[in-house]
Structure 1
Amino acid sequence: MSTIPRVGRIMTFTAKPGRGAELASIMLQVAEGLRGSLGCELYLVSRDAEAPDTVRVVEAWTDFASADAALATTVATHADIDLNAVLGMLAEPPEQIDLDALGGVGL
């Protein structure tokens, strides 16, 4: 088990029917924008195999303040990431689950 405290987050985004691939593409752009961000240890974007309009992001950070700051900066500084467009393609509000990341493979 890791002794370095970390936090995790699982985000679930449900796109309007047929827009899951488009949503996943934008979330991958967010991931690219986070490369090298202070505190970001993992930002994994996946589509649900059984429900392709559902996109999940699994994150690991040194702390939630780093996560919130890095995500805000990435969205604000990358013109190709339009938060309003993302919100417009969602069928429902995103679900956020915050976690105490204890360790495991890759952490």
Structure 2
Amino acid sequence: MIAANGFNATLTARTGMGDQLVDLLLSGLDEGSPGASEHCVVYLVSRSASDPDVVHVSEGWTSEEDHHRVFARDAAQAIVAQVDGLLAKGSEYTDYVPVRGKAAF
């Protein structure tokens, strides 16, 4: 499948909670979680090289509608609620429309 919609998010955890935030975000790849959906074609969690409490997430979806539908489910909402409890401030989002690229993990 090809990603037709996506975003980057920068999340800042409360001091010392970066590891917990990363672990929680990576749980989004577990079976039944949003990142495991066939509609999620890119799900990359990265950390800032200079601040361990700053985490970046890049997601690519088959469509904006698919993203919204998957995130309306209970599993996604449970992760979102837990993420909110770890954050020092609101997340910063940049939306995008993928053109072409490569991902190998």
- Structure 2 residue ranges without an equivalent (≥5): none
Taking only the aligned residue pairs, the percentage that are identical comes to: 32
Assess, with a 3 A threshold, how the Cα gap between structure 1 residues 25 and 54 changes in structure 2: closer, same or farther: same
Residues 36-65 of structure 1: CA deviation (Å, up to 9, x unaligned): 413210111111121110111101111111
Number of positions where the alignment pairs a residue of Structure 1 with one of Structure 2? 101
User: Distance between the aligned counterparts of 1:22 and 1:101, measured in 2?
Assistant: 29
User: Distance between the aligned counterparts of 1:43 and 1:94, measured in 2?
Assistant: 17
Aligned to 2:63: 63
Aligned to 2:99: 102
Q: Indicate if the aligned counterparts of 1:8 and 1:101 stay in contact, CA closer than 8 A.
A: yes
- Structure 1 residue ranges without an equivalent (≥5): none
Assess, with a 3 A threshold, how the Cα gap between structure 1 residues 41 and 94 changes in structure 2: closer, same or farther: same
Aligned to 2:9: 11
Q: Indicate if the aligned counterparts of 2:70 and 2:76 stay in contact, CA closer than 8 A.
A: no
Root-mean-square deviation (CA, aligned residues, Å) is: 2.3
TM-score, normalised via structure 2 length: 0.81
Aligned to 1:92: 89
SS in 1 for 2:45: strand
SS in 2 for 1:11: strand
Offset of residue 34 of structure 1? 2.9
Please give the residue correspondences for 1:20-99 in structure 2 after superposition, counting only pairs within 5 Å.
20-32=18-30, 33-73=33-73, 76-77=74-75, 81-99=78-96
Q: Which structure is larger by alpha-carbon Rg, 1 or 2?
A: 1
Offset of residue 83 of structure 1? 3.5
User: Distance between the aligned counterparts of 1:64 and 1:14, measured in 2?
Assistant: 24
